[in-house]
C-alpha cells in the first residue's frame, strides 16, 4: 500500500513539472526546460553525494530565468497540495514522504525544511530520480507545442539510459536534420489511399509513417538526411530504440533480401528493440524468409500499411 501511495505521489509530481513546462509562453523556453531536465537527470544518476547533487541541481535551476519561473511554479503547486486533486491518502502521506528524502547539508528535506522556493524542485528531482525525470521529459515531448524545438528534445532523448549501447554514429544520425512526425490527410477509399501513398514525396512518406509511432505514444521523429545505417525514422520504446526504414517503392519493385539482411545487421549492432521496414510495395520471398530469422524485425507491406490507417497499430 505504501509503495502504491509513493508511486502515486511521484506521478502527481511528474504531472506538476510537466504542466509548468507546457504552460510556459515561449516555445524556446520549453526547449530550455527539456535541456535542463536532461542535465538534471545526469546529475541525479551520478555517483555524487547528496550535498554535491543538491548544489549542482540548484545551479542548473538558477541558470536561466525561464527555469527559475518553472521551478517557482512547481514550488507553488506543491505548497498548495492540500487544495489539489490528490486523493486523500496521498495528501496525508505527502509531507512524511517528502521528509524521507535523503538529508541535505545536515537538515531534513521535508516540505517544512526546504528553506527556499527554488530548493523545492531541486529536492523533488532527487526524490523522483532519473526514471522520474525521464517521465517528465516524455510527458513534455508528447505536447505538440514542444515540437518546434525537436532538436533540443532529441538531445535530451539520446542521453536516455535506454540508448546507452547505441553507437555514437547512430546517435549522430538521430540528430541529423530531424523532422516532426506528421499525419498527412489521405483519401478514405482504399484504392485512392494506395495511390496516394505511392505518390507521396519521400520525405513526407517518412514523416507520415513515423506519425503512427507518435500516435501510439512514443517519442518519434523522421530524419531528412540519408545516413549509412539506412534508417529513416526513430522511436523510443521503454525497452529501447525502434528504428524504421521506409521504402516508397512502385508496386512491382519488391524489397529484396539484401536490404533486409543489411537492416538486420543494423538492428543487432545498435541493440535496437525493434526494426521496421515499411514499404508501399511488397517483399520478395527471400526477404520474408530472412526477416523470419529475427524476432526483432517487422515487415510492413502495402496491405499492412493500409490497415494501419483503418486500425491504429500497436508496437509491442
Q: What is the pLDDT of residue 226?
A: 74
Strands 297-300 and 274-279: parallel
DSSP H/E element including 279: strand 274-279
What mean pLDDT do residues 245-262 have?
96
Residues linked to residue 220 through DSSP beta bridges, in sequence order: 235
Q: Is the pTM of the predicted complex or chain greater than 0.85?
A: no
Residue position matching grid coordinates 532538436: 151
Distance CA 92, CA 162 (A): 35
What mean pLDDT do residues 78-103 have?
77
Q: What angle do CA 89, 92, 94 make, to 5 degrees?
A: 105
CB atoms within 10 A of CB 179: 19
Fold annotation for 166-310:
Trna Endonuclease; Chain: A, domain 1 (3.40.1350)
Flag whether pLDDT at 277 surpasses 90.
Answer: yes
Strands 240-247 and 297-300: unpaired
DSSP H/E element including 268: helix 257-269
Write the CB contacts of 202 (distance below 8 Å, at least 6 apart in sequence): 246, 248
Q: What is the pLDDT of residue 110?
A: 43
What mean pLDDT do residues 173-185 have?
87
Q: What is the pLDDT of residue 5?
A: 84
Contact 160, 134 (CB under 8 A): yes
Q: What is the pLDDT of residue 112?
A: 41
DSSP H/E element including 247: strand 240-247
> Which residue did the predictor score with more confidence, 177 or 168?
168
What mean pLDDT do residues 298-305 have?
97
Backbone angles phi, psi at 244, to 5 degrees: -130, 135
Residues linked to residue 299 through DSSP beta bridges, in sequence order: 277
Contact 97, 109 (CB under 8 A): no
Domain boundaries, the chain: 2-157, 166-310
Distance CA 35, CA 174 (A): 17
The size of the chain, in residues, is: 316
Cell of 192: 485512392
Distance CA 132, CA 128 (A): 5
At 199-253, the pLDDT tens digits run 999 989 999 999 999 888 888 899 877 787 899 999 988 888 999 999 999 999 9
Q: What angle do CA 277, 267, 175 make, to 5 degrees?
A: 85
Amino acid at each position: 500500500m505504501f509503495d502504491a501511495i509513493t508511486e502515486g505521489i511521484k506521478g502527481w509530481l511528474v504531472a506538476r513539472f510537466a504542466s509548468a513546462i507546457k504552460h510556459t509562453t515561449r516555445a524556446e523556453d520549453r526547449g530550455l526546460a527539456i535541456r535542463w531536465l536532461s542535465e538534471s537527470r545526469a546529475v541525479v544518476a551520478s555517483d555524487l553525494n547528496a550535498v554535491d547533487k543538491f548544489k549542482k541541481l540548484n545551479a542548473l535551476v538558477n541558470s536561466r530565468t525561464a527555469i527559475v519561473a518553472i521551478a517557482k511554479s512547481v514550488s507553488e503547486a506543491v505548497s498548495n497540495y492540500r487544495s489539489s486533486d490528490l486523493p486523500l491518502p496521498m495528501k496525508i502521506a505527502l509531507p512524511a514522504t517528502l521528509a524521507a528524502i535523503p538529508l541535505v547539508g545536515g537538515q531534513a528535506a521535508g516540505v517544512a525544511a526546504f528553506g527556499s522556493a527554488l530548493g523545492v524542485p531541486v529536492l523533488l528531482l532527487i526524490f523522483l530520480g532519473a526514471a522520474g525525470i525521464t517521465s517528465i521529459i516524455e510527458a513534455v515531448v508528447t505536447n505538440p507545442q514542444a515540437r518546434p524545438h525537436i532538436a533540443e528534445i532529441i538531445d535530451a532523448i539520446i542521453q536516455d539510459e535506454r540508448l546507452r549501447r547505441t553507437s555514437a554514429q547512430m546517435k549522430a544520425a538521430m540528430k541529423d536534420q530531424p523532422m516532426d512526425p506528421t499525419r498527412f490527410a489521405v483519401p478514405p477509399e482504399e484504392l485512392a489511399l494506395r495511390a496516394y501513398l505511392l505518390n507521396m514525396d519521400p520525405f513526407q512518406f517518412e514523416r507520415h509513417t513515423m506519425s503512427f509511432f507518435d500516435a501510439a505514444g512514443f517519442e518519434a521523429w523522421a530524419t531528412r538526411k540519408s545516413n549509412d545505417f539506412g534508417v529513416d525514422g526513430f522511436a523510443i520504446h521503454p525497452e529501447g530504440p525502434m528504428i524504421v526504414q521506409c521504402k516508397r517503392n512502385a508496386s512491382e519493385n519488391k524489397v529484396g533480401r539484401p536490404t533486409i539482411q543489411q537492416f538486420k545487421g543494423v538492428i543487432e549492432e545498435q541493440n535496437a528493440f525493434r526494426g521496421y521496414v515499411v514499404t508501399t510495395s511488397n517483399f520478395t520471398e527471400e526477404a520474408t524468409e530472412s526477416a523470419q530469422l529475427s524476432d526483432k524485425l517487422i515487415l510492413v507491406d502495402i496491405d499492412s500499411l493500409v490497415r494501419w490507417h483503418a486500425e491504429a497499430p500497436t508496437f509491442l
